[in-house]
Amino acid sequence: MLEDKITNLLEKLANKLGTTIEHLWNILIHQAYIEAFKNIIMIAFFIIAEILIFKYAVRYNKGKSLEDIDNDFRSITVIILFIIISVFTIIMIASLIPETIDAIFNPEYWALNHILKLIR
């Protein structure tokens, strides 16, 4: 039943694009590698942004005691911002890594998974 839905969806899409199912499947597999590359760039961007923010937080609070930091609103803001961005970065990287691994090492699975998402 699900196999028929996938085949019908691919066939309809191929007809609309004026191509064959085999060609469409090859395009989807090729797209898996493109998505993996895009994810790697995003992961690198998040890591670089995290490093830059960490360096800024350390440089801004360098030489300050804990009492100075407690009394300085900007220092607290920098630390809180660093923590929030760190959590966001960890979540984003953790969500991108499995899809990237799937797209690189098993592009057929990635393509099939992508089609299944379209069906749902």
pLDDT of residue 2: 67
Place of tokens 């996938």: 6
pLDDT at 77 over 70: yes
Residue 31 pLDDT grade (very low, low, confident, very high; cuts 50, 70, 90): very high
Q: Is 62 helix (H, G, I), strand (E, B) or coil?
A: coil
pLDDT at 17 over 90: no
Give the domain range for residue 8.
2-119
pLDDT at 1 over 70: no
pLDDT of residue 101: 95
Handedness of CA 40, 115, 14, 21 (dihedral sign): positive
Name, in order, each residue with C-beta under 8 angstroms of 18's C-beta and a sequence gap of 6 or more.
Answer: none
CB atoms within 10 A of CB 61: 19
Q: Which tokens in the block code for residue 75?
A: 């220092």
Name, in order, each residue with C-beta under 8 angstroms of 74's C-beta and a sequence gap of 6 or more.
Answer: 60
CB atoms within 10 A of CB 53: 17
pLDDT of residue 29: 92
**For residue 95, what are the CA distances in angstroms to 18, 40, 63?**
35, 12, 37
Residue bearing the bigger pLDDT, 37 or 1: 37
Query: How many domains does the chain contain in total?
Result: 1
